Amino acid sequence: MSFNVRYGAADDGEHSWAFRREAAAAAVREAAPAVFGVQEALDFQLDFFEQNCPAYRSVGVGREDGAHEGEHMSVFFDTTRVDLLDWGTYWLSETPDVPSLGWDAACKRTATWLLLKDKAAGREFFFVNTHLDHVGKEARRKGLALVVSSIKEMNPEGWPMVLCGDFNVTPDDECLTDLRLLMDDARETAALSDHGTTWHDWGRLDDTPPIDYLFYKGFRACRSFARITDKPYVSDHYPVVAVLAW
């Protein structure tokens, strides 16, 4: 599952975090993903999910200082279903090992990766979560290229892998070309799929192309891909969920 939770400090009136947080946690509990990545999350939003979705633990860092400051691209995992073996975060920039602004980006951007083990299947897999810049075209192109090259380097054993996130590009954008050569787009390959918009701006943009993604490789099939569109809105993005089969 990929879930842009919307920056919790934003003044969104009736859609502010305080009014939708219960629905957001309920959406997670109902979807019950083994793993999910969040974008735009602040510390207090992460804490709320952990308190109200008790099966889950999260890892990740704030993009501003590599600790708590700023938005997190954290990843939650269900501790009853998967074990955490390793994890890390890097910045989408020319200096990925330290908090840094990349290329023409408006904001610091990161990717968080986890190496996990499915307890039931006994299978190891990687999960990567990112959020590409909303302004810088070069930052999106080079940032995603960095993610793609990192995926190749971090996985010499060829373990299954999932990449999720808010890419801030539509499916026809050329910056996705190299990624599509490496991984499958769940939206395009699922036996049962949903091609509707994901960033809806509180219901005002329900006819625009999607910008949130789940890519995968090393799994036998993608059984389904869907958006969570229940009201009240849990965010200004619809979360997206894929069911992958070993």
Rounded to an integer, the average pLDDT of 21-27 is 97
CATH number of the domain bearing residue 64: 3.60.10.10
Q: What is the pLDDT of residue 170?
A: 98
Q: What is the pLDDT of residue 172?
A: 97
pLDDT band at 108 (very low <50, low <70, confident <90, very high): very high
pLDDT band at 67 (very low <50, low <70, confident <90, very high): very high
**Using a CB cutoff of 8 Å and minimum separation of 24, what contacts does 192-198 make?**
192/223, 192/224, 192/225, 192/226, 193/224, 193/225, 193/226, 194/225, 194/226, 194/227, 194/240, 196/227, 196/229, 196/238, 197/238, 198/4, 198/166, 198/227, 198/237, 198/238, 198/240
Q: What's the domain range around 26? A: 2-245
Q: How many domains does the chain have?
A: 1
pLDDT band at 183 (very low <50, low <70, confident <90, very high): very high
